Amino acid sequence: MRIILIGAGKVGHSLADRLTAESHDVTVIDRSEEVINRCQDSLDVMCIRGNGANAKTLVEAGVDRADIVIATSESDEANMLCCLMAKRLGAKYTIARIRDPEYNESQMLLQNEMGIDVAINPERATALEISKLLRYPFAGSIESFARGQVEMVEFRAQPDDVIVGIPMKNISSAISNIPHVLYTMVDRDGEVIIPGGDFAIQAGDKVFISGNILNITNYFRFLGRNSLKVRSVMVLGGGKITYYLARMIIPVGIHMTIFELDPEKARNLSEQFPRADIILGDGTDQDLLEEQGLSQMDAYVSLSNRDEENLMTGMYASRCGVPKVIAKNTRTTYADLLSKLGLDSILSPQAITCSTILRYVRARGHSMGTKIERLYRLVDGRAEAIEFIAREGDAYIGIPLKDLTMRPGSLVAVIVHQGKVIVPFGNDCIEAGDHVVIISRESGVGDLNEVIYR
């Protein structure tokens, strides 16, 4: 597809890299000569230096032939104006990054008036991920599919877990009454494994399981992981993510203690969330953290604008015995190191934004084939979870999975048939209209027929 990308900062550059890897024809527009030079040196894209909201610049980029225009500049207003101009000049579909909470209340009106087909809010999406992790504090990550009916949860296997050392094919028979879930993927020392029948989980593995919410909950209760209930959370930083998180978790009874250095931000938070404790001070000060009861907290979330502060305070909170620690990090090169240091719940707003936008791009690109509903990048982009809607007339329809061929490195994780969640085995079939979740070690899967065939 022809895609115009306006704004090539961290998100835009990463997105352009992924889009070109999937063979899209990408044109990048940015005001900065330095940014344009970097894109020309590192990406296989056409680059135009200029204002993405300027009609002349958009025409030069071929906006009238563009399938998608994506605006990811730092300015919400500029992104909205870019989409408005692009739509008026003939672009088929527009996506805008809109981050300011002030726009959240009137988002649908803005989308309709400004010609925006999809609005992405990275901070709100990140806050939503954090709220999920606080619900399952023992989890490293949680993804939802089929409109929330199916969840895929990551956890680290412990030496005393009953599943350790038992081949997958023997778990149900060897462990009576263990709730039925699918072991979709294992991350072992940086290697992503789609487990077969002879594979056995080892202590220290990051294990991904899939199932409906009830079975997932019962499974972790069976393993003894559900003892912690998060009732108190300490947060470093009073930015947009914290604002959205407070709106999500304070109403359900979770108490928040928020550290913020900026007096105006602290005052605004205090006015907006009178039930939270807002501390005007340096949240990296260990004495201050202890004074405010860090070691008694159920969870600690570091959301400052500096990765180093987030990671260092996160590790300190973990060392102080806080059961659940979540840190924001924008540098993917830190991921393996942080995992070895015990920080499993690391979130990147940039990565969440890229995954969300790519999901919509793929859905547009394959609108004539199998429809993609969801796309998530897992284990630092080394695997993907993709939700498809099965299409009438495809070759795999109605045939037991055991009689079909799966592409190597892929797995059917979940089938949702007429609202019923099925953890699939060999005799299960996919029917037209089913939601199907695929796990794949290869990126760029765009059609269910590429993964399952006769």
Quick one: pLDDT band at residue 339, thresholds 50, 70, 90? low
Q: How far is CA 55 from CA 8, 51, 65, 87, in A?
A: 19, 9, 14, 11
In the predicted structure, residue 249 carries a pLDDT above the cut 90: yes
Kindly report the pTM of this predicted structure: 0.75
Give the containing element (helix H, strand E) for 319: helix 307-319
| pLDDT tens-digit readout, 373-394 | 777 777 777 888 888 888 888 8
Domain 232-347 CATH superfamily: NAD(P)-binding Rossmann-like Domain (3.40.50.720)
Same fold, 2-120 and 232-347: yes
Q: What is the pLDDT of residues 281-301, one digit of tens each?
A: 999 999 999 999 999 999 999
Concatenating the DSSP letter of every residue in 115-159 gives: T-SEEE-HHHHHHHHHHHHHHSTT-SEEEEETTTTEEEEEEEPPT
Tens of pLDDT, residue by residue over 84-122, are 999 999 999 999 999 888 887 777 787 788 889 989 999
Contact 138, 155 (CB under 8 A): yes
> What DSSP element (H or E) covers 207?
strand 206-212
Give CA–CA dist 44/363, Å, rounded.
Answer: 23
What is the average per-residue pLDDT within 139-155?
Answer: 82
With beta carbons less than 8 A apart as the criterion, state whether 210 and 437 touch: yes
Residue of 397 and 143 predicted with greater confidence: 397
Note the pLDDT of residue 304: 93
Give the pLDDT confidence score for residue 332 in this predicted structure: 61
Buried b (16+ CB within 10 A) or exposed e, 146-171: beeebbbbbbbbeeebebbebebeeb
* Annotated domain spans of the chain: 2-120, 232-347, 358-453
Q: Which sign does the torsion angle of CA 183, 189, 192, 196 carry?
A: negative
Radius of gyration of the chain (CA): 23
CA quadruple 396, 402, 403, 406: dihedral sign: positive
- What type of residue sits at position 79? N
293 three-class SS: coil
Residue 408: phi, psi to the nearest 5? -55, 140
Q: What is the pLDDT averaged over residues 263-289? A: 94
pLDDT digits (tens, 9 = 90+) for 396-423: 999 999 899 988 888 898 898 988 888 8
Mean pLDDT of the chain: 88
Class (C level, CATH) for 358-453? alpha beta
Q: Which fold has domain 2-120?
A: Rossmann fold (3.40.50)
Higher pLDDT, 82 or 112: 82
